[in-house]
Amino acid sequence: MDPSLLEPSKWEQFQASFDLFRDPVLCALIAGGVLGFLSVYVVLRRMVFVSAAVTHSAGLGVALAFFAEIHLGTHVDPMLGATGLSLLATLLLMADPARLKLTRESMLGLAFAFAGGAAVLVGDRIAQEAHDIQGILFGTAVLVTEEQLAAVAIVGAAVLFIQLWWFRGLTFASFDRVGARVQGLPVRLLDSVLMISIGVMVGVSARALGALPVFAFSTLSAIAALVLDLRLGWTFLLATLAGCISGVGGYLFAFFYDFPVGGSQTVLSSALVVVAVLLRALRGLVRPAR
């Protein structure tokens, strides 16, 4: 009998080892959903490069944590490093660059380039952790620890709770700032809550899943939803679902076809945008026939 006939299928292997894959799948589901929700603000407020700069800063934070452990003998949790640098980048990008005779675009470019370049330089000095650094930057991590899953779940629940609780105020202040100020809403406070939510969620998610898929969840999910030109509430819902599908679907695709996880999740996020464009085109063909 051919020995290959006795080899279990990929699906049987996945079922048999589900305890091993459960945590990364749950982590991808939660991170994808929450970042997908936040992505609507990121895209509509034209902050795509903010997300890119913050995710690169998270990678730099992890690299610095490893550097401190190896060369300085100081233990710094990589999750704390990722979250701290993400928050720092977020707060810097919230500052008014006009006081320094700079534009916001120049600040974004500086933060993006510096964080990415510095992560590569620091990673070059910690060769023993090079695999982890690559995992953080490109999302090649296959396993997620219980601590990482717990951090993503707790932060994700807190962020989503605040976003839903203050949904009307946050959307009003984000998309009609003049009207919000006239109505007496604390626009600056609402902006701070939104930016800190993005910074913290990106930080903990990048440590667990990698910067590349986190950037995709926090931008492409909203692009796919916005292409369909639906009401704002449906757009938030579809962006959340797109993030969940990209996170879980990308992980499963990587497992069954032996691809890197981060790349699979990112490509699936992009594919959802293409599907949304085709659906919009199909809707445009059907409508005139009515």
Band (pLDDT 50/70/90 cuts) for residue 55 is confident
Token readout for 161 is 């709770």
29 vs 157: CA distance, rounded Å: 12
User: Mind listing the pLDDT tens digit for each residue in 62-90?
Assistant: 888 888 888 888 888 877 888 888 888 88
Rounded to an integer, what distance in angstroms lies between the CA atom of residue 192 and that of residue 185?
13
137 — pLDDT class (breaks 50, 70, 90): low
Which of 21, 263, 256 is CA-nearest to residue 140?
263
**Alpha carbons 219 and 202: distance in angstroms, whole number:** 12
The sign one gets for the Cα dihedral 18, 58, 249, 234 is positive
Give, in order, the Cα–Cα distances in Å from 200 to each of 55, 109, 254: 10, 21, 27
CA distance 85 to 255: 31
Take residue 100 and report the two structure tokens written for it. 């320094």
pLDDT of residue 270: 94
> What is the mean predicted confidence (pLDDT) over 251-256?
89
259 CB-side CA count, 13 A: 17
Residue 5's Cβ-count burial label (10 Å; 0-12, 13-18, 19+) is exposed
pLDDT by residue (tens digit) across 170-219?
998 888 888 888 888 888 899 889 988 988 898 888 878 888 888 899 99
Q: Which pLDDT score, from 0 to 100, does residue 263 have?
A: 87
pLDDT tens-place string over residues 24-51: 899 999 999 999 999 999 888 887 777 7
Count of other CB atoms within 10 angstroms of residue 162: 15
User: Using CA atoms, how far apart are residues 195 and 73, in angstroms rounded to an integer?
Assistant: 33
Q: Which residue has the higher pLDDT, 226 or 91?
A: 226
213: left (phi over 0), alpha (psi -120 to 50) or beta: alpha
Q: How far apart are CA 256 and CA 264, in angstroms?
A: 11
